[in-house]
Amino acid sequence: MELLAILLFASIFLLILYGYPVAFTLGGISVIYALLFLDPSALSALPPRIMGIMSNYVLLAVPLFIFMGIMLERSGLAERLLETMALLFGRIRGGLAIAVVIVGALLAASTGIVGATVITMGLISLPTMLKRGYRIELATGTIASAGTLGQIIPPSVVLVLLGSVLNVSVGDLFAAALLPGILLVAAYVLYIVVLSWLRPQQA
């Protein structure tokens, strides 16, 4: 049984490296190994499980958040928001990096997903930051950290999935995550301000 688990993990790892979609890899390998090495009657529990997940209305928020993220990216609203914030904080040393963090927080509060935020911010702000003399370490670190705010700032897809799995109120999770998310944004901004003051060559 231990060898089976190692083979299963190795197969998943190899298929993901070859570029197969993660969802099909996880589901397909599991079904194939169940048919080959387990009693096929064990698969009878699969349809009720799938139906139970499909009838979970909490998970309906996930595709809607992703749709909202795509709309923000395609409409150019994120670009205009970043330009506005850059004008607002432009006079401060490290102002563009602060603008990236705040726009990342606003996008996280709008979409709740990480990927769209990181891609959007990377495409828009990284060339501008490098042009204005920001060090590559500070620029990429700011974009990466601002992009991950979508995991904690409500409405977060991660919190929606967590609430669904643990049978906890999603509203309570959102309320609990709001203050830590704001504190995280404040900590990022404070770090950029202090770093820009101590090492002006960074920004």
The per-residue pLDDT string of the chain (203 residues; one tens digit each, 9 = 90 and over) reads 678 888 888 988 998 898 888 888 988 888 888 888 877 777 777 788 778 777 777 777 778 877 877 777 778 777 788 888 888 887 888 888 898 899 888 888 877 666 666 777 777 788 888 888 888 888 889 988 888 888 888 888 888 888 888 888 888 988 999 999 999 999 999 999 999 888 877 76
3-state secondary structure 58-111: HHHHHHHHHHHHHHHHHHCHHHHHHHHHHHHHCCCCCHHHHHHHHHHHHHHHHH
Question: What is the structure's pLDDT at 188?
Answer: 94
Q: How far apart are CA 12 and CA 190, in angstroms?
A: 42
Question: What is the structure's pLDDT at 131?
Answer: 84
Question: What is the structure's pLDDT at 36?
Answer: 82
Question: What is the structure's pLDDT at 161?
Answer: 82
- Give the Å distances, CA to CA, from 107 to 69, 100, 112, 180, 199: 8, 10, 8, 17, 29
Quote the pTM value: 0.72
Domain locations in the chain?
2-55, 59-202
- Give the Å distances, CA to CA, from 70 to 56, 77, 79, 154, 173: 23, 11, 13, 18, 25
